[in-house]
Chain A
Amino acid sequence: MSEQTRDEQELVRRAGSDAAAFGELYERHVKRIYNYIYYRTGNHHDAEDLTERVFQRALRHVDRYEDKGVPFSAWLYRIAHNLVANWHRDRSRKPLVPLDERLFVARTGGQPENRAIDREEIEVLMTCVRRLPEDRQQLLILKFVERMSNAEIGEVMGRTEGAIKSLYHRTLNALRDEVGAALAGDASQSDAS
């Protein structure tokens, strides 16, 4: 067990009765949890709401947390995953929520024509990502947003490193087909017009 992991486990142990220890854990993980929820919901308002619920739930149950050799962040991600799943179910929304305008502003730049193309590409890609099954979306967010290794993703998702590698391979293939089909559809529409 690394020094950092030991330190974190010590914080978790104290967090049940020590508000400052929980505050420290919160500081360490809030941005990652927020990012995960943001990409699953598509807007900052719901991301803030669900992030708050994740940490409130964690606070209520942290004294019952058991160290099973996985990082504390994996526990938080699972809470976040469950709350996001409930969020989609409660609103009867499949995850096809348009992303905030701010995301597009942040990603696009340069000439107006290029910006339009970039934005279209982003919209197509994100729409395709949001059509993927939940576990595949989670995998992509953890890999690209959180820059986690396959082993770390495996700890969060409760799968082996090999299973994650395989799932990633299948996810990229499925996404490539989806994006290719979507772009072909777009191109035929613009040719017709």
Chain B
Amino acid sequence: MKRRQSQSVSRKQLEDLLAQVLVPVEPDLRFVRTLKARLVTYRGPGMGPIWGLAFGVGVATVVTVATLGLTLRVILALLGIIGSVSRGKQEAGQHSGAVSKA
């Protein structure tokens, strides 16, 4: 298709030009890989991963709450013991003071 020579284009010229212009392009390799990873991860074996994920999150939540509860109980118990001990010491001090006054 030489525009300067002639404005009419033959069918053969047009097909040749189309063959030169309409050629395959390469998609970005990173795009191809990322999309594949997303598609394969998205589906996995059926709905398994979604339920698996929900189960995992549930278990993690229960364990966290149980751990926090246990820790709180231990702290409260320790505080109780410390309180009892200090109260015992205080009472013992008061008792010895009263004996010495007498």
Contacts and interface: CB of A to CB of B under 8 A. Distances in A.
B14 to A, nearest CB: 5
Interface in B44-67: 44-46
Interface residues of A, number: 48
Nearest to A48: B31
A19 to B, nearest CB: 5
B22 A39 contact: yes
Contacts, number: 110
Interface in A15-44: 17-20, 22-23, 26-27, 30-31, 34-35, 38-39, 44
Contacts of B40: 19-20, 22-23
A121 B17 contact: yes
Given A180-B8, A186-B3, A27 B17 contact: no
B67 to A, nearest CB: 35
Interface string A104-118: 001100000000010
B89 to A, nearest CB: 67
A151 interface: no
A35 B36 contact: no
Interface in B1-28: 1, 3-4, 7-11, 14-15, 17-28
Interface of B: 1, 3-4, 7-11, 14-15, 17-28, 31-32, 35-36, 38-46
Interface of A: 17-20, 22-23, 26-27, 30-31, 34-35, 38-39, 44, 47-48, 51-52, 55-56, 59, 102-103, 106-107, 117, 120-122, 125-126, 129, 140-141, 144-146, 172-173, 175-176, 179-180, 183-184, 186-187
12 contacts: A17-B45, A44-B27, A48-B27, A59-B39, A107-B21, A120-B3, A125-B18, A125-B21, A140-B18, A141-B22, A145-B23, A183-B7
